[in-house]
Every structure is written in structure tokens, then in C-alpha cells.
């Protein structure tokens, strides 16, 4: 699979690199105060990351004053497994290089998304990227064989919390698996076995041979 950079023009349809901000304190906290598990671990709100100078800049400058949470997604991964989206942008920032596997919301046709539509983008350590609300994404991937990743995840406060108790009014409502989280799983993914909507068709992408 071809792996492009977030500085390449093609990334503009999926997100953008944030310029002009100093997030060095946040990446230092990520490196020193969060674990690197053998699998993948996501924690939505982490005091050690939120008690940094970056919090105010992210909340007020980047999110325009909206309440936010800062957490992490750390570990080792090379597979797609699922794609999710929110009703807002997500900010990703790593103290390591990492790769994002991305698709666009308008690639969903009839409740299904063919994984041939998925693109891979390399994010260098220290680059803060905005992943647009219309961009489907999931856990980061390792940028080099055997290496792990540590990635800050910034989202509106409450995202990925308990799923609201709703009566589904349409097909999309059935894809909701958490607060502000709509998810399409591949049939091979553990999420599908746990009852998540199977919306990804084609190969469950694995970039292990490309890094």
C-alpha cells in the first residue's frame, strides 16, 4: 500500500497540519507519562496531558472555546479493522511517527465502505494534524516494523463516553457505539464479534509489509 505524507496535497481532502502552535510540552508529557502497550490502548481523558499549556490553546484556539478532552491512543498496530467518525474534527499529535488509515464519509454507499477507498498517510513526530469530521479513521498504525506509537487524541468533551440511550430512527443510528462515535467494522475485527455494525467490505488492510 502506498503511504503518503500529511504534507502531500492529497491529504487536504482528509485533514490539515496545524501550524504555529508549540505543543512540545504536550508531546513530552505523552512520551514520559503514558504507557506503550503491546496491543492498542485508548484513554479519552488523561490529567497528565490535560494539565499542560497546550490545553488552553487547543480548547480556545483550535476548537474555538468548545470544551475538550485530551487523551491518547498508544501501542502497536498495522491493521485497519474498523473506521469511525465523529460530528467534529479530531486532533492527532505523536511523540513518535505514526500512520493514519483514512477514508471519506462520502465513500460510504448503501451503508458499506469498500476498503479499496482507504488511503495511508504518515504523520511525523511533533506534527499536529486535524482529521476532519467527514474523515473516517481508527487506531493509528506503527510507522516502522516493530516500533510502537504514542498519539495524543483531542476531541470534544464526552466523546467516546457511554452511548446515548436512543431509539434508532434510521440506519446510521445503528452504527453508534459510543457518545459522538459512529463505527463501521470489518467482519474480521473483534469489534464485529462484539456486535458492532459490519460496514467495511473488501480486504481488512494490513500495512505490515509496507513499513
| Beta bridge partner(s), residue 136 | 103
pTM of the entire predicted model: 0.96
Query: Which domains are delineated in the chain?
Result: 3-210 (2.60.120.10)
Let me know: does 137 contact 34? Beta carbons within 8 Å: no
CA atoms of 5 and 14, how far apart (whole Å):
12
Q: CB atoms < 10 A from the CB of 152, how many?
A: 26
pLDDT band at 92 (very low <50, low <70, confident <90, very high): very high
Q: Give 97-147 pLDDT, tens digit per residue.
A: 999 999 999 999 999 999 999 999 999 999 999 999 999 999 999 999 999
Mean pLDDT over 11-16 rounds to 98
Burial 38-58 (b: 16+ CB within 10 A, else e): eebeebbbbeebbebebbebb
- The number of angstroms, rounded, from the C-alpha of 89 to the middle of its chain's C-alpha atoms is 10
Q: Give 142-182 pLDDT, tens digit per residue.
A: 999 999 999 999 999 999 999 999 999 999 999 999 999 99
Let me know: does 125 contact 152? Beta carbons within 8 Å: no
pLDDT of residue 145: 94
pLDDT of residue 101: 98
pLDDT of residue 151: 98
Q: Which of 114, 131, 115, 3 is nearest to 73 (CA)?
A: 131
CA atoms of 140 and 197, how far apart (whole Å):
21
| Structural element, H or E, at residue 41 | strand 40-43
Amino acid at each position: 500500500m502506498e503511504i503518503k505524507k500529511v504534507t502531500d496535497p492529497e491529504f487536504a481532502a482528509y485533514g490539515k497540519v496545524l501550524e504555529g502552535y508549540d505543543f512540545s510540552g504536550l508531546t513530552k508529557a505523552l512520551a514520559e507519562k503514558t504507557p506503550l502497550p503491546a496491543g492498542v490502548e485508548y484513554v479519552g481523558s488523561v490529567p497528565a496531558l490535560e494539565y499542560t499549556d497546550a490545553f488552553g490553546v487547543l480548547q480556545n484556539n483550535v476548537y474555538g472555546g468548545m470544551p475538550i478532552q485530551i487523551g491518547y491512543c498508544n501501542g502497536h498496530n498495522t491493521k485497519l479493522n474498523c473506521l469511525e467518525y465523529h460530528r467534529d474534527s479530531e486532533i492527532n499529535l505523536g511523540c513518535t511517527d505514526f500512520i493514519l488509515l483514512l477514508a471519506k464519509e462520502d465513500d460510504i454507499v448503501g451503508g458499506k465502505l469498500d476498503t479499496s477507498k482507504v488511503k495511508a498517510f504518515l504523520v511525523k513526530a511533533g506534527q499536529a494534524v486535524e482529521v476532519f469530521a467527514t474523515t473516517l479513521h481508527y487506531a493509528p498504525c506503527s510507522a516502522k516494523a516493530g516500533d510502537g506509537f504514542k498519539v495524543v487524541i483531542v476531541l470534544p468533551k464526552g466523546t467516546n463516553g457511554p452511548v446515548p440511550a436512543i431509539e434508532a430512527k434510521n440506519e446510521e443510528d445503528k452504527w453508534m457505539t459510543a457518545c459522538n462515535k459512529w463505527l463501521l467494522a470489518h467482519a474480521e475485527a473483534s469489534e464485529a464479534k462484539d456486535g458492532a455494525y459490519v460496514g467495511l467490505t473488501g480486504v481488512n488492510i494490513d500495512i505490515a509489509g509496507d513499513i
